[in-house]
Amino acid sequence: MDTFEAIKATFFQECDELLADLETKLLDLESGAADDETINAVFRAVHSVKGGAGAFGLEALVRFAHVFETLLDELRAGRKPCDELTVRTLLRASDVLADHVAAAQGTGPEVEEARSAALVAELEVLTHGEGGSPAPDEAEDDFGFQPVAFDLPSLDLPSLDLPSPDAPGAPAAGGWRIVFRPHGRMYVNANETGLLLRELGRLGPLEVELDDSAVPMLDRLQPEENELVWTIRLTAPVDEAAVREVFDFVEGDCDLRIEPIAGEGPELPPLIETPDAPADDIDISALLAKVQDEPAAAVTPAAPATSAPAAAAPAASATAPTASSPPAAAAPATIRVDLERVDRLINVVGELVIQQAMLAQRVTESGLARSSGISVGLEDLELLTREIQDSVMAIRAQPVKSVFQRMPRLVREVAEMTGKRVRLVTEGEATEVDKTVVERLAEPITHMLRNAIDHGLETPEERTAAGKPSEGTVRLAALHRSGRIVIEISDDGRGINRERVRGIAVSKGLIAEDAALTDDEIDNLIFLPGFSTADAVSDISGRGVGMDVVRRSIQSLGGRISISSNPGKGSTFTLSLPLTLAVLDGMALGAAEQTLVAPLSAIVESLTPKAEDVHYVGGHDAVIRFREAFVPLVDVARTMGFRDAPVPPGQGVAVVVETESGARAALMVDAIHGQRQVVIKSLETNYQQVEGVAAATILGDGRVALILDVDALVANARRRPAAADLKLAS
């Protein structure tokens, strides 16, 4: 990739961040936070996208962003109200702006001209009013700029007695004289002098003068700094507050002096003192020759000795902080790293964990004492390996905010297509999870949100008739629970019509007509392949490919999905996924000469059951007494088909686990081999999906061990009654 393409790629990466911030701030406006800082943040995001697009000649993007920016400028200045209609239009404009960026990047289709033009027309109506039209760019940029000779008297800047910005003066009959010197950081923050002059031009006629006398010679020029000073004469009877409002957005990034003209105040001194020596006194050709022959630090232009102190002033003013603009806090340093490199690092660290486990097992088998130097060193190595692995995993950890931020647009589009009023509430956006999991969450969440709006929520008329607010609420939340990430998608709609669901399943031949099903089992029928409650095929749903795809996507991540529905009040879909697909803290268990690993986060306690503690429900469903309660007892080896005979009570170990729903069960195994950290390997990728197994790992002795899916194992055991030879213990 050449340099230009690399810079362009960086621009599009920054666009992603700017667009995400833009939508976040617009949603803040929608929720009622219409403060100046939020509006300024929205303006900055659009302005930055426009500026970068202009540098790369992306004309369509620039044209749309310009109209978008103009309306935001009116909101910033307080000339237009930030009402509900305006915010809704801005949200749709942000969607079109994102589409323009995607089209320019080549990751999306070209934006339809009619769609873009229609929204441009809406933005212009909000900006200029009904029947109004924006002035041509040429007229808008023509604020009467006429370069003239400029010579300010030399006075000391610190001795100025300036009016306080907090106490603006009354309107000046003759207008105002403004001396304005931007700091370098003003341009870094994507502001432009031209835009400020344009805003002043809207207040009245301007006369603009530019002083470039403080610009240093080439050898002392600092490109990131600014030495230009603008003097503007605004001949309009406006008050000082209106003038200062133009510069309010950049007040901390410039030197600014405002005084009435026409003899109503003292003549303003210069913001930067300049040398008295005329330019003719400097031999430019000799200076250039010296630049070629000598180091830059050694080059000093020939100038009269009397002007030396004054000549040093510009350099000092460029670096010394001013009293009115304290230095900004340094932003945390970040770097962009290709994800492939991080993945490679993750794989290497995973192999390091496996090799460390193998080495530890070899030393243990050799019979060395735990107090030996080698054993102590191995313990230190284990701690260091875990720290390395935790640090590397933290690099991959990302907040789910990157996925959640895409959903407001989806909700707006689906609500518009269905004619429903919908409010999206998000919670837990800062919840962190492995990047691999984050990337694969978008599709199932998207589908479930579509279903929640299309099937779950009623129309505004139906909600009003049912005594509900006309606007439906969809909630998207993320949280950590028992070492996993849980994502909930809920709505306050009609809930699942179980009679209709059952009838559709029967008509499609998915279940027998006389099947006896519980409410939960009926709810879960929507996950069957080909099941759909849509009456007609549309762009939203109704193609018979839906929730079964969602379930498979979640299962491929080692997760599960469950439903909770209350007819007339709404439904909640709960996704439970591992925090990472790379490593796991687990407990090694022995069952029928097989080594299995149970996630440590699911284990509550372990105990050796006594015969009198085990009972049977209905003669075959085993339960065990645990802390004054009974929990199901699952024989792991038997449930997974490793052997036919159960473990006799008193000879095995019961490991009490807690499922995602909060229910508890006891896994009966032969022995516990100890806690260890294992590297997760996908069983589905390398073999096939196995019920009750989430993944696999490589043990220290090189053998493959299966990682248990505790929830699926418990559910599977309940569907398989134990053999009748298990007797009720007295």
Domain residue ranges of the chain, discontinuous segments joined by +: 3-134, 138-274, 276-313, 340-398, 400-578, 583-719
C-alpha dist (Å) from residue 318 to 104, 161, 230, 315, 339: 38, 21, 16, 5, 40
Q: Compute the distance between CA of residue 684 and CA of residue 435 in angstroms, rounded to an integer.
A: 20
What lies within 8 Å, CB to CB, of 419 at 6+ separation is 459, 460
Nearest to 39 by CA among 11, 67, 80: 80
Q: Compute the distance between CA of residue 303 and CA of residue 381 in angstroms, rounded to an integer.
A: 67
Residue 320 has pLDDT above 50, yes or no: no
> Which residue type sits at 592?
A
Nearest to 534 by CA among 509, 566, 504: 504
Q: For position 307, what pLDDT does the model report? A: 36
Please state, rounded to an integer, the average pLDDT across all residues of the chain.
76
Q: Compute the distance between CA of residue 357 and CA of residue 380 in angstroms, rounded to an integer.
A: 13
Q: What is the CATH number of domain 400-578?
A: 3.30.565.10
C-alpha dist (Å) from residue 375 to 148, 362, 369, 384, 700: 83, 11, 7, 14, 16
**Do 178 and 231 touch, CB atoms closer than 8 A?**
yes
pLDDT digits (tens, 9 = 90+) for 551-584: 878 877 777 788 888 888 899 998 888 777 667 7
Residue 277 has pLDDT above 50, yes or no: no
Q: Residue ranges of the alpha helices (H) in 56-112?
A: 59-76, 84-105
In degrees rounded to 5, what are phi and psi of residue 591? -145, 110
C-alpha dist (Å) from residue 555 to 521, 532, 546, 625, 677: 18, 20, 15, 32, 22
Q: With bands split at pLDDT 50, 70 and 90, how would you rate the model's confidence at 469?
A: very high
Residue 127 has pLDDT above 60, yes or no: yes
- CATH T-level assignment (fold) for domain 3-134: Four Helix Bundle (Hemerythrin (Met), subunit A) (1.20.120)
pLDDT digits (tens, 9 = 90+) for 379-413: 888 888 888 877 887 787 888 888 888 888 889 88
Q: Compute the distance between CA of residue 213 and CA of residue 613 in angstroms, rounded to an integer.
A: 94
Average pLDDT over residues 617-642: 83
Q: For position 477, what pLDDT does the model report? A: 93
Average pLDDT over residues 413-424: 89
**What angle do helix axes 36-55 and 59-76 make, rounded to 10 degrees?**
160
Q: Provide the 8-state DSSP code for 325.
A: S
- CATH T-level assignment (fold) for domain 583-719: OB fold (Dihydrolipoamide Acetyltransferase, E2P) (2.40.50)
> Which residue type sits at 129?
G
Q: Compute the distance between CA of residue 620 and CA of residue 36 in angstroms, rounded to an integer.
A: 69
Q: Is 434 exposed, middle or buried (0-12, 13-18, 19+ CB in 10 A)?
A: buried
Nearest to 87 by CA among 128, 138, 29: 29
Q: What is the dihedral of CA 503, 509, 514, 519, to 10 degrees?
A: -50
Average pLDDT over residues 345-350: 81
Q: Compute the distance between CA of residue 508 and CA of residue 530 in angstroms, rounded to an integer.
A: 9
Q: For position 8, what pLDDT does the model report? A: 82
What is the percent of the chain with per-residue pLDDT over 70, rounded to a whole number?
78
Q: Quick one: CATH architecture of 138-274? A: 2-Layer Sandwich (3.30)
